[in-house]
Chains A and B, each alone.
Chain A
Amino acid sequence: MSTILPEPHAYRPGKLARLKEGLRYQGGIGQWSWLLHRVTGVGILIFLIIHVLDTFFVVFNPALYDHTVAIYGGVFGGQYFWPLRWAFRLAELGLMATVLYHAINGVRVILFDFWSEGCKYQKESFVAVLIVFLALMVPAAVVVILPLASSPDHMVKVPANTPNP
């Protein structure tokens, strides 16, 4: 199932044909956990690029920073939109799940690398990853979603200009 095969002799031409071939290939859990590790890795990187750019606002325009993070609470252009707040909460959960999966599965990959016998327990260890993931994610989801039950009683107001730029 998860033995290391020699390089394939030939690929079919065309990205689409190769994609279809790849998805038909029965790599088992090893293949899917690896694909998910890759997708989550790139996902975190994309988030991190945006995150560093918006955090940079703190050093040149505090008001712009506050306007930006107010969107997180659903306040945009001085008005409150509840779907915006909900969307950001759900995206936040998605990001937490993405980081948690990549981290836990990453530890599993590292364990396999330094303990070669481990690869025999591909299935069992993946179940362990899922159990740890759920054990952390379920309580986290409760904490993140609960504040949505009460509507914000106060809207963030941001000073119009930086008085002291």
Chain B
Amino acid sequence: MARNRIKPQGGFELTAWYFMRISGLMLVFLAVGHLFIMHIANNVENINYAFVAGRWANPRTGWIWRLWDMSMIALAMFHGFNGLRQILDEHVHGAKARVAMHTTLWAVMTTLLVLGTYAIWMFQVDKAYVEQFKAMNSGAGSHASVK
């Protein structure tokens, strides 16, 4: 069986091992719930700027979705990039190549995390745009109708 399936003895790798399991369990709720909301509870063809605004900028429930997305992006990024690092650690052996690989992974992950966090918390509705979009797409019963 895979070597990384064996529980590490201690140090960073043991922390990472526990993190992979705890974040995995939380992502079952967050990521599978996200997919359920987007694909089963909604039709994906209804997703647009106004839809996102209705979630993130909702005066009552907006903070729930922002918190949901924030937890999901943080856990999924660390979980996914740590998983990728474990895979690459098995294949990249040279000392220099390993440093370059780890640096690249951390830089890419941090950049994405900053972009995602910025989007979640800095989002403000562009009301003029939403009005214009609704006016252009107000066909009754259309799959793209905006509520």
* Chain A residues with a Cβ under 8 A of chain B: 2-4, 7, 27, 30-31, 34, 38, 41-42, 44-45, 48-49, 52-53, 55-56, 58-59, 62-63, 65-66, 69-70, 72-73, 92, 95-96, 99-100, 103, 106-107, 109-110, 113, 140, 143-144, 147, 152-159, 162-165
CA separation between A66 and B50, bound complex, in Å?
A: 9
A103 and B29 CA atoms in complex are apart in Å by 10
Which B residues are in CB contact (< 8 Å) with A99?
31-32, 35
Cβ 8 A contact of B1, one of A34, A42, A100: A34
B1 touches A30 (CB 8 A): yes
Contact A163 B80 (CB under 8 A): no
A58, A63, A103, A110 pick with most chain B CB within 10 angstroms:
A58
B103 within 8 A of A: no
State in angstroms the CA–CA spacing of A159 and B35 once bound together: 28
- Choose among A2, A100, A163 the residue that contacts B128 (Cβ–Cβ < 8 A): A163
* Contact residues in A for B3 (Cβ distance below 8 Å): 7
Contact residues, B87-138 vs A (CB, 8 A): 87, 108, 112, 115-116, 118-119, 122-123, 126-130, 132-133, 136-137
Cα A70 to Cα B137 in complex, Å, equals 12
Interface size, chain B (Cβ < 8 Å) = 55
8 tightest A-B CB contacts, nearest first: A154-B142, A45-B80, A73-B45, A154-B139, A164-B128, A62-B49, A157-B136, A156-B144
Secondary structure of the A contact surface, majority rule: helix
Cβ proximity bits B28-70 to A, threshold 8 Å, 1 near / 0 not = 1001100100011001110111001100000000000000000
Mind listing 23 A-B residue pairs with CB under 8 Å?
A3-B1, A34-B1, A34-B5, A42-B84, A49-B108, A52-B115, A56-B115, A59-B122, A72-B47, A73-B45, A95-B35, A99-B31, A103-B32, A153-B139, A153-B142, A154-B141, A158-B136, A159-B132, A159-B133, A163-B132, A164-B126, A164-B127, A165-B126
